[in-house]
Structure 1
Amino acid sequence: MILSRGAEAQHQHPAPPPPPLQQTQAQPRPTSHPHDHAAMGLDPGPVVEPAPPAMDQPLVEPEVRQSVKGVLQTTLACRYAYKNIGGQRLYLRSYEGAPFGPTLRMKPGETLKIRLTNDFPPNRDPMPANMAIPHQFNNTNFHFHGAHCSPSGIADNVMRSMVPGKKYDIEITLPKDHTCGTYWYHPHHHGGADVQMASGMSGAIIVEGDFADVPEITAARERVMLMAQVVFDAFGMIENFSTLFPETATRFLAINGQRRPTIDMRPGEVQRWRLIGSQYQDDMMLELERHDLHVIAYDGIPVRNMQSMKKLLFAPGQRADILVQAGAPGTYEFRALPHDQGHPSPVGPLARVVVSGDSMPMKLPARLPKPPLEDIKDSELTGGRTLVLSATAPEADAAGHWQEFSFLIDGKSFDPHRIDQRVKLGAVEEWTIINTHEHDDHVFHIHTNPFQVTQINGVPQKEPLWRDSVIVERKGGSVVFRSRFLDYTGIFMLHCHMMNHEEMGMMQTVEVYKE
């Protein structure tokens, strides 16, 4: 998003060249001299490169970058790159030219320092008068999703505008008592964040130290898994918002930029899967065939009691740390099942779990440590407020053009120049989020401060969970939560993390102020 308009001179710039649709098409191979073969009277023609297998390759996890002596100092380059995903050769925006960004590992109290380079070409469109129209897809910035840290200056400030052709410094220091767990980063520049995230511009941040005293968890092999909906146009690109908005836009699902990779396990082995909801738009109903999913943390915050389930509803923006204990030798599908979120969520295989080899008898933890955050009691509350999520749509919803829709909070579309919610530093508030939209669920997310969910659709929660992103069901669904607005002043965002909805107006500014 952006506070000032017209800061960058706009020029017409040709779109990047479209790639071939299939990896199997012929690609010329350069030689040391352009006439080597002609001199011999031979012309072998173009060399056909073998296509990489589309599926069933071992799961590849992103590169890891680790803090040293209290600082994680690194670079991030934003640029176009060819990505081979599921047999498709795509030309998309990226971090570091990779399917997903590197995994950043740090500890509470440490500082993340990034020199971000925006190597995208100049924007081809001017800043629109209506900020709810997706625009200027090559501006970017950086959001540390879920972090309790400063939203100001060069920290986790999503009001910054990082324009093409320039370098920017980011410096985020976590408090010493920050919760340990699974977090992530992604662009948050209003207008182009949806396009960039749908292209795979996101990465994991691991704040180390959770469950350090639980040997059953520390012994488990970790897997970082960024969930994705793969989407592209006829040229293998995302250059128009209409590529993203139809409810049937998703081509297939992927993990870490791979279509149906293979996850190897041994019988009885326990693995810790750090699931990151980097999908740009839709919920996923997750299931691992003939296995339970044992949740030990949500949104980077450990739970009080391990939750074992057959299916896990997983929304964009959320994280879930789950333990998986392999059963008998065989091959099992990790997949997304049908789910009605007002429109059908995408379905299909995510990975194959292949259990083989010698037995590795491991145990699940009998109990978990005390959670890091204290429950918010009635006596702490200093106030509250209610927010209403809504939308407008054409009469023939399914046939409408995206410009006929609008997504609103309290009847208003996002305006970066307006402060929507003012909260005094030190306040402890109870918020009610109501979704009056008839057709879609929404995913409420707020920056800087996590919240404790106490009611869903009017039903008190037996074990109130700490989250930073939560589903609010359509047709009058509601969520009640409590949050402490401590430590940091400044301006930050609340919005729907179904990024099509955020981009089209379902976002507000929050200002925490100190008198």
Structure 2
Amino acid sequence: MKSEFKRRHFLRMSATLASGIAVPASFTACSREEEATPATPKQTFVQPTMLEAKNGLLDVTLTASYLNTKLAGDDSSKQYPVSLRAYGYDNQGPSYSGPTLVVKGGDQLRIKLVNNLPVNPPFMALRDPTNYMKPNTTNLHVHGLHVYPGIYSDRKPLEYGDYVVDPNIGGVLPNGDSRQYVYQIPKDHPEGPFYYHPQYHGSSAIQAASLMSGAIMVRGPVDDLPEMSQAEELIFLFQAPYFASSQISNNYGVKDGLLEKFAQIANHPTGHGVHSSNQDYVDTQPVLINGVRQPTIVMQSGEVQRWRFINTQVFNYLNLSLDGHTLNQYTTDGWGSSTYQEYPDARQKNGKGILLAAGNRSSVLMKAGEPGTYLLRSLPVKIAQGKQTAILPGDVLAKIVVIDSKKVMALPPTPLPISTFLKPITDQEFASAGGKKRSIIFNMVGNDNLDPSRNEPSAIEKATASATVIASEITESAKKGIALVKAEISKVTGKPIEGSKYFPPFVFPTYDYQLQAANIIIQNVILGAIEEWTIFNCNSIAHAFHIHVNPMFITKINGAPINPYWCDTVSLPVGGTPEMPTSVTFRIRFTDFVGPYILHSQMLQYSDLGMVQRVTVVPA
């Protein structure tokens, strides 16, 4: 019911996420824009459709199909025709996001997934190195939810929990196949934001990098607080859909507006569109919120709103900050806290805002201040540091227009109620459970370390690659020549000229897309176990680690104790090497559910390539 430093060297270069980095001049302006606030501002923020459980049940049909529409790029005034995979629900056609599903502890969530995507391209004897797996075979993952991960084999027809370990012959096939998912939400499930997206191994990135995601809100006692229930709730699905464009140098033969080749997102994982002249900054995909580029939110001075941030991007981080205001965070991912963690305007705080890796979520309360126009930004984020630094450039995500008002609202007083499910895992509890520890290695290896006898390209592939390289070199040579001419003119005139400096392109490693199976390594665990795991990052890049079903109680970063907190997705510190890896240590309770699920990089391109392991929980 409802209500070119070399691509192949990038992953081996040395790289910590910046807790504070130099912020460009464009991000150090005064807190409030100088432009006049319009007399009647128009809100362009679009809220996804909300479907709420009634009498303990939410039953919905999601349909995967293509959405033909227009999306904005970096410039919000310019629209591009696209045809991308998206979700519709019940009798509604596909849209910019799936509906928001609202449940509470004890409810049952039923999702029937219907795959109306077209049949997969035929398997070619001469494999196309730019394509990968089955782009239109799919399944469904409820990211972060603590629910049963197996198959209800005693039910006819079969019903599925959060089951994502489909073999290559499995999954929800295109052209009309369907699967019934059933999630029984535990009564003590913590409240907060979660989300759903595809997790079919080998195809998750290409589907999630379209528009296939939607929010899940789990309600609880904190939502019933008077001050909380009076605050308007806004759902922010941060999206960065990838698609071919005439402005991109290499679309691998894909027509404008389409995402059909794995190489489109694997060889350029941060995307295209948001540029910077700084040589350490990489190009990034423009961020949309619920399908809209840089929407406007209208608030009254003194008003409190609760914002649910969900980073659905398949690779990039966000570093969230609001001009002139404090974001009061009360959940990390979907896991609550009894107190607020305050994030004031980060431009005044060494550029450190709310850091969201791919898959991370956050709940914040924001109280509007003086009338004016303010910007919600993602400030620059360092994602690699070593032989060459890589920084995601800053971006403006939304505009908040505060109008004059006598409204007086307050934040809910602390301590906030949190579920007993989130009680800390103490040294005593861990020791009494046996003190078992495990180590997991994250290490992405580029082509130059693979056996060339297994990866020899065809003559056609070699010729195509050579032509592409030559064309790229000619383009870069021309750019360099123009920059030199401008530099000479600047010397003569004594005036600076834009474009008088040449910065070589920063590029990522390429792969030949040899798939590692999702179950090649299995971590077997006994139900009821309490263990301590350390995830070692052997790469310079800041991998995002995610484990299904059970959340993590983070206790150490690089071996040093921290103030512990709960999450289900965590950034691994950058700067790792095989000789000196960085690390995150957490404790975890394997409670309630047996069955198979996975741990993986939430940078889904890397997960599809093989940065994934299976976890199998067996009865005690």
Structure 1 length-normalised TM? 0.83
Contact in 1 for aligned 2:310/2:362 (Cα 8 Å):
yes
Structure 1 counterpart SS, 2:607? helix
Answering whether residue 82 of structure 2 is matched by residue 85 of structure 1, we say no
Deviation of 1:91 after TM superposition, in Å, equals 0.8
Residue 356 of structure 1 is matched in structure 2 by 403
Give the 3-state SS of the residue equivalent to 1:138 in structure 2.
coil
On the 8 A contact 1:127/1:135 being kept in 2, the answer is no
Residues 455-507 of structure 1 deviation map (CA, whole Å, 9 limit, x = unaligned): 11222122x11100000012232111101001111110100101111111111
> Does 1:126 pair with 2:123?
yes
The residue identity in structure 2 corresponding to 1:232 is F
**CA displacement 1:140-184 (0-9 Å, x = unmatched):** 111111111110011110124000121221111111121121111
CA distance in 2, matches of 1:394, 1:137: 23
* Structure 2 stretches lacking a partner, 5+ long: 1-41, 73-78, 89-93, 152-159, 246-255, 274-285, 345-352, 385-389, 449-503
Q: Does 1:208 align with 2:219?
A: yes
Question: What SS is found at the alignment partner of 1:230?
Answer: coil
Counterpart in 2 of 1:242? 263
1:277 to 307, 311, 317: 311
Aligned residue type for 1:135 = M
* Aligned positions of 1:199-348 closer than 5 A: 199-212=210-223, 214-234=225-245, 235-245=256-266, 246-251=268-273, 252-310=286-344, 311-342=353-384, 343-348=390-395
1:376 correspondence with 2:397:
no
1:230 and 1:124 map into 2 onto residues whose CA distance is: 21
Alignment partner, residue 174 of structure 1: 185
Taking the aligned partners of 2:535 and 2:561, their CA distance within structure 1 comes to: 15
Q: CA–CA distance in 2 between the matches of 1:142 and 1:482?
A: 27
- Alpha-carbon distance in structure 2 between the residues aligned to 1:132 and 1:144: 29
Pair 1:478 & 2:583 matched: yes
Alignment deviations for residues 164-212 of structure 1 (CA, whole Å, 9 cap, x no partner): 1212211111111211211111111111111111111100111112414
Task: Please give the alpha-carbon distance, in whole angstroms, between the structure 1 residues aligned to 2:591 and 2:291.
Answer: 37
Contact 2:600 2:613 in 1 (8 A): yes
1:17 alignment counterpart: none
Deviation at 1:134, TM superposition (A): 3.4
Distance, in Å, in 1 between the alignment partners of 2:187 and 2:129 is 38
CA shift for structure 1 position 417: 4.2
Secondary structure in structure 2 of the residue aligned to 1:392: coil
1:330-365 per-position Cα deviation (integer Å, ceiling 9, x unaligned): 111111111111132253111100111423211123
2:441 to 388, 401, 404: 388
Partner of 2:455: none
Output the CA distance in 2 between the equivalents of 1:219 and 1:210. 14
CA distance in 2: counterparts of 1:72 and 1:346, whole angstroms = 40
More strand by share: 1
- Identify which of 48, 53, 64 aligns with 1:67: 53
Which amino acid in structure 2 is aligned with residue 271 of structure 1? Q
Q: CA RMSD in A?
A: 2.4
Go from structure 1 to structure 2 and tell me whether the alpha carbon gap of 1:138 and 1:375 turns closer, same or farther (over 3 Å shift).
same
> Which is further off, 248-257 or 186-195?
248-257
Q: 2:616 aligns with which of 506, 511, 515?
A: 511
Distance 1:400 1:306 in 2: 38
Corresponding letter in the other structure for 1:337: L
Does the 8 Å contact 2:447/2:511 carry over to 1? no
Does residue 1:367 correspond to 2:423, yes or no?
Answer: no
Q: Deviations for 1:381-432, whole angstroms, at most 9, x for unmatched residues?
A: 23110111112235799556632588xxxxxx74234342111111000111
Match of 1:157 in 2: 163
Provide closer, same or farther for how the CA distance between residues 132 and 185 of structure 1 changes in structure 2, counting only shifts above 3 A. farther
Q: Percent identity?
A: 36
Query: For the Cα contact (< 8 Å) 1:269–1:359, is it kept in 2?
Result: no
Give the CA deviation at 1:436: 1.3
Q: Map 1:396-407 to 2 at 5 A.
A: 402-403=510-511
Q: Give the secondary structure class of the aligned counterpart of 1:294.
A: strand
Q: Letter of the 2:100 partner, please give it.
A: T
> Using a 3 Å threshold, how does the CA distance of structure 1 residues 321 and 417 change in structure 2: closer, same or farther?
closer
What letter matches 2:309 in structure 1? L
CA–CA separation in structure 2 for the residues paired with 1:348 and 1:400: 21
Partner of 1:497: 602
Quick one: which amino acid aligns to residue 327 of structure 1?
A: G
> What is the CA–CA distance in structure 2 between the aligned matches of 1:259 and 1:223, rounded to whole Å?
16
Q: Tell me the distance in 1 between the aligned counterparts of 2:145 and 2:516.
A: 23
Q: Secondary structure at the match of 2:227?
A: helix
Moved over 6 A (4+): 127-133
Distance in 2 (alpha carbons) for counterparts of 1:473 and 1:130: 35
Structure 1 CA distance for aligned equivalents of residues 186 and 130 of structure 2? 34
Task: Classify 1:210/1:478 alpha carbon distance in 2 versus 1 (closer, same or farther; 3 Å).
Answer: farther
Higher relative contact order (CA 8 A, sep 6+): 2
Equivalent-residue separation in structure 2 for 1:352 and 1:79 (angstroms): 32
How far apart are the structure 1 equivalents of 2:270 and 2:223?
Answer: 43
Alignment partners' CA distance in 2, 1:258 and 1:444: 28
Q: Which residue of 2 aligns with 1:465?
A: 565
Unaligned runs of 5+ in 1: 1-55, 407-412
Q: 2:539 corresponds to which letter in structure 1?
A: H
Query: TM-score of the superposition, structure 2-length normalised?
Result: 0.70
Q: Do 1:211 and 1:217's aligned partners in 2 also have CA atoms closer than 8 Å?
A: yes
Name the residue aligned to 1:117.
114
